[in-house]
């Protein structure tokens, strides 16, 4: 499982892409995004690319910040967030 950091912005995307590449095993990625407080278009773009290349993302938690950013940019469906579990408060 890949745990997203509190911030996934353009400043953190390169390191995050390396983590994704290291987890290049088959099947969907399991992602815990419960801690995400800030995400920008660059962070969302990397997640959409992962979903397109690896198949649906298996969300283990999705913060309100992630959901709101995905909704505003219009990638909520591409990320498969509609049925994802909300982060526990």
Q: What is the pLDDT along the chain (89 residues), one digit of tens a residue?
A: 899 999 999 999 999 999 888 876 667 789 999 999 999 999 999 999 999 988 889 999 999 999 999 999 999 999 999 876 666 65
Q: What is the pLDDT of residue 64?
A: 95
18, two tokens: 């390396």
Query: The domain 2-79: what is its CATH number?
Result: 3.30.750.24
Q: What is the pLDDT of residue 20?
A: 85
Q: What is the pLDDT of residue 55?
A: 86
Distance, CA of 52 to CA of 46 (rounded, Å): 10
Do the beta carbons of residue 6 and residue 35 sit within 8 Å? yes
pTM of the full structure: 0.88
Tokens 């990625």, located at residue: 29
Measure Cα distances from 39 to 17, 24, 27, 74 in Å. 14, 23, 25, 14
């Amino acid at each position: 499982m890949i745990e997203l950091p509190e911030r996934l912005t353009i400043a953190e995307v390169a390191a995050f892409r390396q983590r994704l590449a290291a987890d290049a095993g088959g099947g969907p990625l399991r992602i815990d995004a419960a801690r995400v407080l800030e995400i920008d278009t660059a962070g969302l773009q990397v997640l959409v690319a992962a979903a397109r290349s690896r198949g649906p993302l298996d969300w283990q938690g999705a913060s309100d910040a992630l959901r709101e950013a995905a909704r505003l940019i219009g990638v909520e469906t591409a990320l498969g967030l509609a049925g994802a579990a909300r982060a526990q408060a």
